[in-house]
């Protein structure tokens, strides 16, 4: 058995112990739970919003919501999964509010997809070709990040929740309110778009990039 499984079991047992105390009114126990999970919550919020200020506010709002509903939590899922879903909900609401505000200022054109699920137009590439200044893996990481950033918001959300943060389809459906078939379809198209970016990166010499 790997070392990670016992460690995860230990963490969840510690969560349960602290949760019981927190639900009985022990504020220090809840503060300990915050300390154990705030980095992951902040990381999810930062990846979804790409804003340190938004991520910090989402983290604060997440644990405030968790504290306010602490007595309603029955332990059907791990405490970490519960606050993860709360954070994802807050991040999605923040993104939707941002989208409304941006739409009021200007019409933004999202990338289009072909029937195959690939990007209709390749993004203009400005990656450095100087191997001495930028390592290949760093360039590839930038290519993938740019491709992920260019995904329509709904596709990027599903990709982050499933492939980056490891939520199940059922959990993503609970967070987004969408059906599992719709989530799977968007995830498939997002993965195709990212694979297209990787193929483009490795074939750029042949394309004269």
CA dihedral sign, ordered 177, 65, 149, 199: negative
Element of type H or E holding 55: helix 52-68
Q: Is 200:143 a contact under the CB 8 Å cutoff?
A: yes
Q: How far is the C-alpha of 86 from the C-alpha of 81, rounded, in Å?
A: 9
Q: Bridge partners of 119?
A: 113
Based on its alpha-carbon atoms, the radius of gyration of the chain, rounded to whole angstroms, reads 20
Residue-range domains of the chain with CATH:
8-105 (1.10.1740.10), 132-206 (1.10.10.10)
Cα–Cα distance measured from residue 166 to residue 66, given in angstroms and rounded to the nearest whole number: 21
Confidence band (pLDDT; 50, 70, 90) for 72?
confident
Determine contact, residues 87/58, Cβ cutoff 8 Å: yes
pLDDT the model gives residue 88: 86
Q: Is the pLDDT of residue 49 over 70?
A: yes
Confidence of residue 39 (pLDDT cuts 50, 70, 90): very high
Task: Give the per-residue pLDDT at 105.
Answer: 52
The set of residues, in sequence order, having a beta carbon less than 8 Å from that of 21 and lying 6+ positions away, is 29
Q: Is the pLDDT of residue 9 over 90?
A: no
Q: Is the pTM of this model over 0.75?
A: no
Residue 130: pLDDT band (50, 70, 90) is very low
Determine what percent of the chain is predicted with pLDDT higher than 70.
73
**pLDDT at residue number 99:** 67
**Look-up: residue for tokens 């599903």?**
158
């Amino acid at each position: 058995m790997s070392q990670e499984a016992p460690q995860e079991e230990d963490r969840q047992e510690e969560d349960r112990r602290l949760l019981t105390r927190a639900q009985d009114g022990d504020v220090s126990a809840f503060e300990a739970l915050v300390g154990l999970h705030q980095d992951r919550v902040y990381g999810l919020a930062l990846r979804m919003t790409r804003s340190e200020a938004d991520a910090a506010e989402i983290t604060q709002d997440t644990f405030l919501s968790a504290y306010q509903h602490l007595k309603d939590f029955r332990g059907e899922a791990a405490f970490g999964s519960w606050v993860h879903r709360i954070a994802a909900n807050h991040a999605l609401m923040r993104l939707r509010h941002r989208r409304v505000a941006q739409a009021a200022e200007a019409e933004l054109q999202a990338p289009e997809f072909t029937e195959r699920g690939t990007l209709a137009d390749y993004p203009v590439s400005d990656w450095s070709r100087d191997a001495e200044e930028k390592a290949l893996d760093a360039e590839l990481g930038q290519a993938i990040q740019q491709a992920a950033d260019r995904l329509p918001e709904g596709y990027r959300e599903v990709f982050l929740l499933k492939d980056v943060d490891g939520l199940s389809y059922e959990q993503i459906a609970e967070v987004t309110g969408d059906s599992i078939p719709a989530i799977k379809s968007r995830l498939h198209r997002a993965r195709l778009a990212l694979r297209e970016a990787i193929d483009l990166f490795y074939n750029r010499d042949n394309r004269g990039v």
